Amino acid sequence: MTVLSILSLPFVALLLSLWNSPVIASDYHENLLLQPLPQSSLLASFNFRSNTSQQSFDQQHFRYLPRALGQILQHAHTKELHLRFTTGRWDAESWGPRPWNGSKEGGTGVELWAWIDAPGDDEAFAKWITLTQSLSGLFCASLNFVDSTRTTRPVVSFEPTGDHSVADELHLLHGTLPGEVVCTENLTPFLKLLPCKGKAGISTLFDGHKLFDAAWQSMSVDIQPVCSPEGECVVQIEQTVDMVLDIDRSKRPRSNPIPRPVPNDQLVCDTSKPYHADDTCYPLEKMNDKAWSLTEIFGRSLTGVCPLADSDGSSEQSVCLRVPHERGVFISEAAEEFKKEDGFTRCFKLAPSTSFDLSIPQQPVNTEVPLDEPVLHAERTIVGHGQERGGMRIIFGNPSNTSAIDFIYFESLPWFLRPYIHTLRATITESNGLPREIPASDIIKETYYRPAIDRERGTQLELALSVPAASTVTLTYDFEKAILRYTEYPPDANRGFNVAPAVIRILDTAHNAPVYIRSTSLLLQLPTPDFSMPYNVIILTSTVIALAFGTVFNILVRRVVSLTEAEALGAQSLKGKLLGKLVALRDRFRGKDTKVE
Amino acid sequence: MALKSAIRNLRNNPHLLFVRLPNLLSFLCIVVGVVWLLLLPLNEYSRNTYISENALLPGQVHAYFTGSEQNIFRGYKRELEGLLNEGQERGGQKDEAEVTAAVSDKVLSILQAAGLKVATQKYEYTSAGITHQGENAYAIIHAPRGDATEAIVLVAAWKTADDELNLNGVTLALTLARYFKRWSLWSKDIIFLITPDSKSGTQAWIDAYHDMHPASVQPLPLKSGALQGALVIEYPFEHRFKSLHIVYDGVNGQLPNLDLFNTAVAIAGGQMGIGANLQEMWTHDDSYEHRLQTMFRGMTKQGLGYATGAHSSFMPYHIDAITLQPKGEGWEDEMALGRTIESLCRSLNNLLEHLHQSFFFYLLMQSQRFVSIGTYLPSAMLIAGNFTIMAIALWMRTGYYPETKPKTETKKPSDEKAKSNAVAERKLALPLSLVVGLHLLGLAPLWIFNNIFHQYFKTTTYIFMIVDITLPLLLSSLLSTPLALKSPIIPQQYHLIKSFSLLLLGLSLSTLATLNFSLSFMIGLLCAPLTFISRIQGSAPFRCITSALGLVVLNLLSPPTVLVGVCWYAGVDVETVLTQAAY
């Protein structure tokens, strides 16, 4: 069998290449965008995109689309898949709007949503479980814990991005694991899905140490069918990795990663201060942009070009950098630089099989790359204290002075957090800074609410909201914390329970694609027993039963009579007499005296 | 057999059973309770402290806060000092607000330059007619890779709990903020909170953090996740220090988790070589007397339940917090304190769960010796139990053992002997209403003292003292005058009044003992004579003398007298104490 299959391989390959030639859609692109951000951070945004024709996908002929993933999709009848691994938080205040408008990132931990083709809800859920179990194995993530309590079916928060045929009965299922720690074991399978597998091209920069040292990082896998107007369909897989690296931290050598205090002579001090002396230093924070190079930041250099990538036009320039054009940038000799018209972007064409490095010297900053203002600020916190009940507070700030903003707010809450929707209140703070309570219906256009069922499903709440210009809206509601069963607590119960981040989808006509924002995840403290308690209870009850039961039983069963009464009793019958004798004998034997005066 | 005959004796002698025995038992309870407490400092009854939460790993990391960080510390300090002196030169009082604003701006700009997210919060509180107002400045280091679910708080107040200028403490917090920002190992956010004073500022901030603040306090514009621990830095002098004084008492007798205290002691003593003190015991030779003294000081603070520092405000929200105060003249400098705090933060950063492993109820008698609730609780419970025993005895007595001695007001039933086994009818209306009414009356002083202005505290106290002395006399004369009541009061009702009062007292004290042992113990001891007072019989002059003596004793032990007495003993003004209490 093995020999046969090996022998048949060249033939199959030949056949496949013949098959392949008429299909034009099979292609692969990869791109890296580097953008320095304020506060000495650097956004590195990797994008890998490949297409496979629907026909070859259906025939299980996989070239760029990884077979492992393709077969899972086919098995689970999944038409469109979105998988996100995220850690950290995006600091919108200093870093501006999110990369890809937030559409390629998830909430903290793992987030997965998919459109599944199934005749009914139950079948869809069964397929969904198949999908999560398989993905869990593929990505080394605890996705198998996405059970019915963590699965929701959002109504308006997500829309399919691919082009689906009308015949499909699509069901959207969405699951999150907010407590999942994303680490190298998720990166390795992620890299294996790439055609060049981290051996050539921009994916050679992935180093687990640097990637997971980032202040924020997000990995995503999106698979969707894309159809051209002519009706030719391809299955597109897009993998992205976005990370914000701290330049100072990344530049520290791995041999000496500890940020020890710098030697006295390397301190940058404000010498204009009158008290400035050898031992007194008012630190001067650097106003210049930091110098950095690819090798310093990523710990390795970029080797070659992925030979599978298309070598036509723009996709050839696989590394782009967004700094003002007047800034000097040094690149390796073999590479070519192309400056774009917008004045900030320049892209580099890399030479195959040579390593590429890029370095920016320290320069005074004259112009900066403009960062757009985020369209919406959102913050969600748990308020109140105590083990019994609490409150949720969500703040939406609209920075725009002119236009109101419409968006959809979606949150899925675990079943042990029981919200009281009737307590939903809205407070608006307009430009005068005075908070004013308004009826919630004034800003909530629509509500989709599916209450929780204990141990079966969580709460699903979707609100279509509108926040007026230059104002801040605060939504609050109260909730009650359920008491779990003894066995339902996780091993680290006292840490609290993670509540999945809320997803905000902004319906903005200015952007073609929707803008997504996710809040931070929350930690919910539930009433938690001291787990040594059950053992104490067992020990105590055993002792009490052993001591008390014996005594009480003794008192209940023993008959205390006076000597005369005993005699009278005993005299009644022969049996009694005998018994009395026996008892007397036994008592004497034991040296007991039951006589009562 | 001896026991049996004793029981038989008791049954035959109701006077012994209902009158003498309860007295004896109650007295025994009190004596055993007190002796129990005195035994606690012995090695056999107390335990060495230990770290229960393994994740803390105190002192396992090297602290790097040295070298050029000290230059920066001096730089920041000179900068702030310059601003403060400028205010004084320009003439103090008038420009105070201006100077505060300038200093606050400087603090914020330093924190912002270090790369932290900064915010401010204005607050205003009014208590006892005094307005506390100010502006908190705080900054957050976002944990790299963190997701804002957990945070640690470092607090430095401009005024320490003893109202001294805490310039070194604030500067140290700023330097640490700049230093911590460089580390990437933080798993929790670190919040640096600079408050104008040690009480209202932290209170306002923590209230607003949980959205429990009154309208006069601004909400927080910047927040993080669940707070896992708080450290307060105080360094209100210029010279070098010898040892660290760890203050841990919270409001209403709440205590932080013992693990936090132990970690601080382990890091200060074990890693840094700085001695750790507690309860202002500067020289502690680990002798019985010193242990007992430390324990009593701890109990006094717990019993009085007032805020002992900025950390106290955190306790009601179940956030474990301690204050670190450098004390004495030695050779440890601010960098040593900084390293201690760094190491403590690293330990707290290691926590995977909220501090829960170790004890929340304990009495410390030395920095490394404590007794836990299981060992000390019987002491207060016994004292509370003595009231309950007496109350039950009195209840039985009213039912089963009518007074044998004829009273002028009562008609003695002739066939008493026959009825001795039957339950006598109890007249409950008057005793119940009297006890409930008198306890409700207690709300009046509570409300008054919480709401009047501080200038009137002294007068009010004296008024209440007079009321306290006269009201019982009035009431008793009213009760014993046949004219005032339709039917004259009988001894049974006296006993019932006492029974109910004692029952209520015993009940409240035993409940309180589990929450605030020290308070329960103190109240229990002060109320102990109540168990033993009874109607005095004998000749008229003897009766007069003893009852007068009893009255004096009871009045001496009444709350206002104790308050004034303790104030006089400690040399504090009543007004100050009450202002503190009303806060």
Contacts of A590 (CB under 8 A, 6+ apart): none
Question: Could you tell me the sign of the dihedral formed by the alpha carbons of A595, B4, B5, B9, in that order?
Answer: negative
- The pLDDT of B451-455, averaged and rounded, is 75
Tokens 């999944």 identify what position?
A78
Q: How many CB atoms lie within 10 A of CB A4?
A: 8
Residue A155: count of CB within 10 angstroms of its CB:
14
Q: Chain B contact for A231, CB < 8 A? A: no
In a domain, B150, yes or no: yes
What Rg, from alpha-carbon coordinates, does chain A have?
Answer: 35
Say what the pLDDT of residue A593 is: 52
Which DSSP symbol is given to B221?
S
- Report percent pLDDT > 90 for chain A: 30
A391 touches chain B (CB under 8 A): yes
Asked whether the predicted pLDDT for residue A317 surpasses 70, the reply is yes
Phi, psi of B153 (to 5 degrees): -115, 135
- Shortest Cα distance from A197 to chain B (angstroms)? 25
State the pLDDT at residue A12.
Answer: 38
A436 in contact with chain B, both atoms CB, cutoff 8 A:
no
User: Under an 8 A CB cutoff, do A494 and B146 touch?
Assistant: no
Put simply, the answer to whether B142 touches A91 (Cβ < 8 Å) is yes
Q: Are B429 and B500 in contact (CB under 8 A)?
A: no
Q: Which residue has the higher pLDDT, A1 or A511?
A: A511
Q: What is the mean pLDDT of residues A18-22?
A: 36
Instruction: Provide the whole-model pTM.
Output: 0.85
The dihedral built from the CA positions of residue A212, A214, A218 and A219, taken in this order, carries a sign that is negative
Q: Which of B250, B275, B259, B428 is nearest to B353 (CA)?
A: B259
Asked if A383 and B211 come within 8 Å (Cβ–Cβ), the reply is yes
pLDDT of residue A252: 84
Amino acid identity of residue A78, one-letter, is: T
Q: Is A208 in the B-facing interface, judged by CB distances under 8 Å?
A: no
> What would the pLDDT profile of B489-501 be if each residue is shown by its tens digit?
677 788 888 889 8
State the fold for domain A377-524: Immunoglobulin-like (2.60.40)
Residues B351 and B454 in one domain: no
Contacts of A215 in chain B (CB under 8 A): 142, 144-145
Q: Which of A247-256, A297-306, B111-120 has the highest mean pLDDT?
A: B111-120
pLDDT in tens, B248-293: 988 888 899 999 999 999 999 888 888 888 888 888 888 899 999 9
In this prediction, residue B4 has a pLDDT band, given cuts at 50, 70 and 90, of low
pLDDT at A264: 84
- Tell me if B498 is assigned to some domain: no
Q: Inter-chain contact B144–A246, Cβ cutoff 8 Å? A: yes
Contacts with B439 (C-beta within 8 Å, 6 or more apart), sequence order = B504
**What rounded mean pLDDT belongs to chain B?**
84
B447's torsion region: left (phi>0), alpha (psi -120 to 50) or beta? alpha
**Number of domains chain B contains:** 2
B71·A260 Cβ contact <8 A: no
Q: What is the pLDDT of residue A10?
A: 41
Separation between Cα atoms, residue A220 and residue A84, nearest integer Å: 4
The per-residue pLDDT for A2 is 40
Please name the residue of chain A whose CA is at the shortest distance from the CA of residue B66: A261
**Residue A118 carries which side chain, given as an amino acid letter?**
A
The helix or strand, by DSSP H or E, that contains position A208, with its residue range, turns out to be helix A208-211
| DSSP notation for A339-403 | E-TTSSEEEEEPPTTSEE-EEE-----SS----PPPS-EEEEEEE--SSSEEEEEEEEE---SS-
* Residues of chain A contacting B4 with CB distance shorter than 8 Å: 596
Residue from B297, B326, B492, B526 nearest B403 by CA = B492
Of B64, B211, B316, the CB nearest to A393: B211
Say how many Å lie between the first and final Cα of chain A, rounded.
102
Assess whether pLDDT exceeds 60 at residue B389: yes
Burial of A226 (0-12, 13-18, 19+ CB in 10 A): middle
Contact A394, A409 (CB under 8 A): yes
Using the beta-carbon criterion (under 8 Å), do B78 and A275 form an inter-chain contact? yes
Among candidates B74, B117, B184 on the partner chain, residue whose Cβ is nearest the Cβ of A249: B184
Looking at this predicted complex, what is its ipTM?
0.81
- pLDDT band for A23, please (50, 70, 90 cuts): very low
Task: Identify the DSSP state of B70.
Answer: H
Cβ neighbours of residue A196 under 8 Å, at least 6 residues apart?
A30, A203, A306, A307, A308
Q: Pick the residue from chain B with its C-alpha nearest to A86.
A: B145
* Alpha carbons A359 and A327: distance in angstroms, whole number: 11
Residue A99 has pLDDT above 80, yes or no: yes
pLDDT value at residue B483: 58
Using a CB-CB cut-off of 8 Å, the residues of chain A touching B356 are: 494, 528, 530
Dump pLDDT digits (tens) for B406-450.
Answer: 443 344 444 444 444 556 677 788 888 888 988 888 888 888 877
Looking at the fold, whether B208 and B131 belong to one and the same domain comes out as yes
Average pLDDT in the B203-216 region?
88
Residue A84's pLDDT is what? 94
d(CA A51, CA A163) in angstroms, rounded, equals: 14
Q: Which residue of A has its CA nearest to B69?
A: A261
pLDDT band at residue A13 under the 50/70/90 scheme = very low
Segments making up each domain of chain A, as ranges: 20-254+264-360, 377-524, 533-590
Which residue has better confidence, A213 or B537? A213
User: What residues does B325 pair with on adjacent strands?
Assistant: B245
Nearest to B342 by CA among B496, B233, B435, B249: B233
Q: Is the model more confident about B491 or about B163?
A: B163
pLDDT score, position A435: 83
Q: Residue range A532-542: average pLDDT? A: 82
Distance CA B92, CA B94 (A): 6
Determine the residue of chain A that is closest to B71 in CA distance. A280
Residue ranges of A 361-380 with Cβ closer than 8 A to chain B: 379
Spatial neighbors of B66 by CB under 8 A, at least 6 apart, are A261, B335, B339
B285: in domain: yes
What pLDDT was estimated at residue A130?
93
Higher-pLDDT residue of A290, B152: B152
**Dihedral over alpha carbons A557, A560, A564, A566 (to 10 degrees):** 20
- Interchain CB contact of A307 with B (< 8 Å): no
Q: Which of A216, A261, A276 has its CB closest to that of B68?
A: A261
Contacts of A280 in chain B (CB under 8 A): 71, 74-75, 78
pLDDT value at residue B573: 66
pLDDT at residue number A426:
92
Assigned token pair, A445:
């256009």
What pLDDT score does B458 carry?
78
Greatest mean pLDDT among A544-553, B65-74, B406-415, B572-581 lies in B65-74
Radius of gyration of chain B (CA): 29
- Which CATH number covers residue B192? 3.40.630
A87 vs B: CB within 8 A: yes
Distinct helix (H) and strand (E) counts, chain B: 21, 11
Whether residue B285 sits in one domain with residue B194: yes
Probe site for chain B from A210, A254, A383 (most B CB atoms < 10 A)? A383
Contact B72 A108 (CB under 8 A): no
Instruction: Give residue-wise pLDDT tens across range A472-525.
Output: 999 999 999 998 888 888 888 888 899 999 999 988 766 677 889 999 889 898
pLDDT at A1: 39
In a domain, B20, yes or no: no
User: What does the DSSP assignment read for B516-542?
Assistant: -HHHHHHHHHHHTHHHH-----S-HHH
Average pLDDT over residues A321-334: 84
List the structure tokens of A579.
């018994």
**Same domain, yes or no: B130 and B222:** yes
Per-residue pLDDT reduced to its tens digit, A134-183: 999 999 999 999 999 999 999 988 988 888 888 788 999 999 999 888 88
The verdict on a CB contact (< 8 Å) between A261 and B115 is no
Q: Show the tokens assigned to A219.
A: 């990995």
* A290 at B interface, C-beta within 8 A: no
Residue in A213, A267, A285 nearest the CB of B68:
A267
B66, B114, B145: residue with CB nearest A87: B145
Q: Which residue in B475, B484, B438, B479 sits closest to B551, CA to CA?
A: B475
Closest CA to A84 of A51, A109, A49: A109
**Residue B559, Cβ density class (10 Å: 0-12 exposed, 13-18 middle, ≥19 buried):** middle
pLDDT at B164: 87
Domain membership of residue B48 (yes or no) is no
Instruction: Concatenate the DSSP letters of all residues of B348-416 into one string.
Output: HHH-SS-S-SS-SSEEEEETTEEEEHHHHHHHHHHHHHHHHHHHHHHHHHHHH----S--SSSPPPTTH
Residues in A closer than 8 angstroms to B171, CB to CB, are none
Residue percentage of chain B with pLDDT more than 90: 32
Q: Which residue has the higher pLDDT, B548 or A217?
A: A217
Looking at the predicted structure, is the pLDDT value of residue A7 above 50? no
* Spacing of C-alpha B459 from chain mean position: 26
- B235 and B336 together in one domain: yes
Distance between CA atoms of residues A499 and A417, nearest Å: 9
Confidence check: pLDDT of B582 > 80: no
Q: Which of B264, B260, B233 is nearest to B334 (CA)?
A: B233
Residue B274 lies inside a defined structural domain of this protein: yes
CB B188 within 8 Å of CB A560: no
pLDDT band for position A569 (50/70/90)? low
- Of all residues in chain B, the percent with pLDDT exceeding 70 is 88
Residues of A in contact with B146 (CB under 8 A): 88-89
The Cα angle at residue A386 between residues A383 and A389, in degrees rounded to 5: 70
Helix (H, G, I), strand (E, B) or coil at A302: strand
A71 touches A60 (CB < 8 A): yes
Q: Does residue B329 sit in the same domain as residue B188?
A: yes
Six-digit token string for B104:
């606050």
Higher pLDDT pick, B201 / A371: B201
Range of the domain at B182: 108-367
The answer to whether A471 touches A428, Cβ cutoff 8 Å, is yes
| Record: contact B64-A279, CB cut-off 8 A | no
Question: What average pLDDT score do residues A298-317 get?
Answer: 76
Q: Which tens digits make up the pLDDT trace of B309-362?
A: 889 889 988 899 999 999 988 888 899 999 999 999 999 999 988 888 888 999
Residue A288 pLDDT grade (very low, low, confident, very high; cuts 50, 70, 90): low
Q: What does the pLDDT average to over B106-119? A: 91
Q: State whether residue A560 sits within 8 Å of chain B by CB.
A: no
Distance from CA of A594 to the nearest CA of B (A): 10
pLDDT digits (tens, 9 = 90+) for A406-458: 999 999 999 999 999 999 999 998 888 788 888 888 889 999 999 999 999 99
Q: What is the mean pLDDT of residues A350-354?
A: 82
| C-alpha–C-alpha distance, residues A346 and A331, integer Å | 12
Residues 498-557 on A with a CB inside 8 Å of B are: 498, 520-523, 525, 528, 530
Q: CA B454 to CA A281: how far, in whole Å?
A: 46
